[in-house]
Chains A and B, each alone.
Chain A
Amino acid sequence: MKFISEFRDPELVEKYITEIRRTVTQPWSIMEVCGGQTHSLVKNGLLQLLPPEIRMIHGPGCPVCVTPLHLIDKAVHLAIDKGVILCSFGDMLRVPGSRMSLLEAKAKGADVRILYSPLEAVKIAAENPAREVVFFAVGFETTAPANALSVIHAHRAGLKNYSILASHVLVPPAIAAVMEDEDVRIQAFLAAGHVCAIMGIDEYYPLVEKYHVPVVVTGFEPVDLLQGILMTVKQLEAGEQRLENQYSRVVRPEGNAEARNIIGEVFEISDREWRGIGTIPGSGYEVREAYAAYDSNRKFDMPLEKAPENALCIAGQVLKGIKKPHECSQFGKACTPQNPLGAPMVSSEGACAAYYHFSQS
């Protein structure tokens, strides 16, 4: 595969590993923010190839993991009690709500559909004018443009039966929240490359300045990750704190202006609850007043009590990198991918699920 296989080249991987080993002289804790990066580190077995001085801390960048419990309950409520066609990305389906997961709702007869694009949901709405169609709009800045575009398309087509249950979270406020936590000891960040492809890199300069940490915008392939780690380690060893862009083949410093315009048209920044972490100010998107008709939260009356999280789950500490998944007393015992207590055990991008698979070796 052109543009991918080059970044999985075993010789290059070895070269970077050797270079990292040569550069590192003391222990460093580096957080990869994005769950996609965690997944790639584990899937390719990179964690064992790194020298023991490098401690990779897995960040909160798994959208499925940080979607609040009550939003999943809302999605289940819409699918089961309101009889809507509930469309979602695939890995949201298995996450347990307080009542049930969407997968269980589907088994109980709810019309739950797995889609790859929210624009498909708009098509479904056009084909089913007598039914309400809801898209569970989960994700970071990366999925926001397509989700916003679906609202614009529905609006242009005059569809009255389409809305989104928005659960968008933003990376820079999450990095700030992690650094503000007194228990957290993170010395550098790999920022999520694809988020920056949309948003650009300017948002990260203030973080570098305020918290005195190196931030390297990094891609997802093995060579990307190792190059990002090497750039980070070089800065750490030299006592520098700069913003660097490893993923320059994809990320332009200014990002994608058109995608950002579409986001701005439909969404505005709001406070947002992160599952396991709590509310982070200005860390999410919600649908603007002008598009209120396409906001499931406003459209449907959902008299739901906020259910408590499972008390045994320490997902918050895992998502902030304070504890490793296997340091949880429930890990691999009461909590497994087949029977998850918390969301990070569900998604393949979740740190607990990744460790569950990895630690058995």
Chain B
Amino acid sequence: MNAPKLRMQLQCPMPQLDFDVITLGHGSGGLLTHKLLDSGVFDLLKNDLLNEKHDGAVFELPAGTRTAFSTDSYVVTPVFFPGGNIGELAVNGTVNDLAMCGAAARYLSLSFIIEEGLSMKEFWDILVSVKYAAEKAGVQIVTGDTKVVERGKGDKIFINTSGIGTVHPQAAISQKRVKTGDKILISGPMATHGVAIMSVREGLEFQTSLESDTCNLNHTVLALLDQFGEQIHLLRDPTRGGVATTLNEIARDTQLGIELWQKDMPVREEVSSACELLGLDPLYVANEGVFIAFVAADSANEVLEALRGLEYGSEAALIGEVREDHPRKVILTSSIGGRRVVNMLAGEQLPRIC
């Protein structure tokens, strides 16, 4: 675990409480709910807007700015995984979705659906991670909700976050702007998050030092937009379904062809070994702390250079380009020079027998 994360855990010890697990009563809206929230939740995440303790947050955005709005739900299992937990995932995920719109996340809502019986210690650890991730990303949690469902009706805890962000003045990010010749960059190695999660899934446990790559990409993206503005045509974070699925969506929607070069695609050694063993293709494995950028061909090298100097971008690579000769298809030139179509996944990626 990185040092600031650990420091925050030490600085935020769990308050003394007269309950050690979350019960149905904690979601009732009554006395127990208030006890839970007042016991430390509000204190931990405090800011002026949250302190109002109202049903919603009221705020103003800078005049004349475009606003981005996004929502996502988080159901990861296990809730705690190498390199993080569902709390920071829920903050980073929505912050990153906004970043992909070219927006700086300003305000988040945070809603929990908790399965009865979750230990208060685990809930607290998740909250501390939320606080850490929100501070790191520079976003405020301004409203939220807590519901508790009966045991067996949930999977420990589900989180929904929605976020509002202000769009960078120079950002012009849209699928419509993707055009033939655009270069495709990836900000870091693929498939790390998915494999880190797999390594602790029940029945699949294997030894690895891998950690999820969950992180906030907003500072990096905004720094790129400061420098390159309209040269950046499209940004996407290839989460579920991995790089292959995201690029297929773009090829389908833009009616353009995408060419990929396997030899240039960064994958950590441990990740590719694990994928080999598990019968998975890294192209389809989920990412959290990685984004793909479609950039104007003539500035691609400069963007890549800049990205490599930014937070979480040191292993960025140029992995492909947009072509018109195979519309709606993603075609990969394999490391050994063969070519194949990279398709959309038919369902969940299922491991092969041999």
A residues neighboring B (CB under 8 Å): 1, 4, 8-10, 13-14, 34-36, 39, 42-49, 63-64, 89-94, 103, 113-116, 120, 124, 138-140, 142-143, 194, 222, 336-338, 347-349, 357-358, 360-361
Contact = CB atoms under 8 A, between A and B. Distances in A.
A115 B205 CA distance: 11
Contacts of A34: 354
A138 to B, nearest CB: 7
Nearest to A113: B203
B66 interface: no
A63 B337 contact: no
Nearest to B343: A357
Contact of B354 (A46, A94, A142): A142
Interface of B: 203-204, 263, 269, 272-273, 276, 278-279, 281, 326, 329, 331-341, 343, 346-347, 350-354
A1 B338 contact: no
A349 B343 CA distance: 15
Contact of B336 (A10, A64, A336, A337): A10
Given A336-B346, A361-B331, 10 more contacts: A36-B354, A44-B340, A46-B338, A49-B336, A49-B338, A94-B347, A94-B350, A114-B350, A115-B203, A358-B341
B329 A43 contact: no
B114 to A, nearest CB: 23
A103 B353 contact: no
Contacts of B273: 1
Given A1-B276, A115-B203, A357-B343, A44 B350 contact: no
A45 B339 contact: yes
Given A1-B273, A63-B353, A114-B351, A120 B337 contact: no
A222 B340 CA distance: 14
Contact of A361 (B272, B329, B353): B329
Contact of A45 (B263, B326, B340, B346): B340
Nearest to B342: A357
B352 A39 contact: yes
Contacts of B337: 10, 13-14, 45, 49
Contacts of B279: 90
A357 B354 contact: no
A143 B354 contact: yes
B354 A347 contact: no
A90 B336 contact: no
A360 B279 CA distance: 23
B276 A45 contact: no
Contacts of B347: 94, 103, 338
B278, B334, B350, B353: most-surrounded residue (chain A CB, <10 A): B353
A135 to B, nearest CB: 12
A167 B220 CA distance: 53
A158 to B, nearest CB: 22
Contacts of A39: 352
Contacts of B269: 1
Contacts of B281: 43
A8 B351 contact: no
Contacts of B272: 1
A94 B329 CA distance: 25
26 contacts: A1-B269, A8-B335, A10-B336, A10-B337, A14-B337, A34-B354, A39-B352, A43-B281, A44-B334, A45-B332, A45-B336, A45-B338, A45-B339, A48-B338, A48-B339, A49-B337, A64-B353, A92-B353, A94-B347, A114-B203, A116-B204, A120-B203, A338-B346, A338-B347, A360-B341, A361-B340
A133 to B, nearest CB: 12
A93, A116, A139, A194: most-surrounded residue (chain B CB, <10 A): A116
Nearest to A45: B338
Contacts of A113: 203
A46 B326 CA distance: 20
Given A45-B337, A222-B336, A360-B329, A138 B353 contact: yes
A10 B331 CA distance: 18
Contact of A139 (B204, B326, B350, B353): B353
Contacts of B353: 63-64, 89-92, 138-139, 143, 349
B149 to A, nearest CB: 18
B157 to A, nearest CB: 22
A116 B351 contact: yes
Nearest to A64: B353
Contacts of A349: 352-354
A175 B334 CA distance: 31
Nearest to B349: A90
Contacts of A10: 263, 335-337
B228 to A, nearest CB: 33
B328 to A, nearest CB: 10
Nearest to B338: A45
A91 B351 contact: yes
A89 B203 CA distance: 12
B12 to A, nearest CB: 36
Contacts of B276: 1, 4
A361 B329 CA distance: 8
Contacts of A138: 353
Contacts of A337: 346
A65 to B, nearest CB: 11
A43 B346 CA distance: 16
B343 A360 contact: yes
Contact of A42 (B204, B331, B340, B354): B340
B336 A44 contact: yes
B338 A90 contact: no
Closest 3 CB pairs of A and B: A45-B338, A90-B350, A90-B351
B203 to A, nearest CB: 5
B336 A13 contact: yes
A204 B92 CA distance: 57
Contacts of A358: 340-341
Contacts of B329: 360-361
A42 B335 CA distance: 13
B336 A361 contact: no
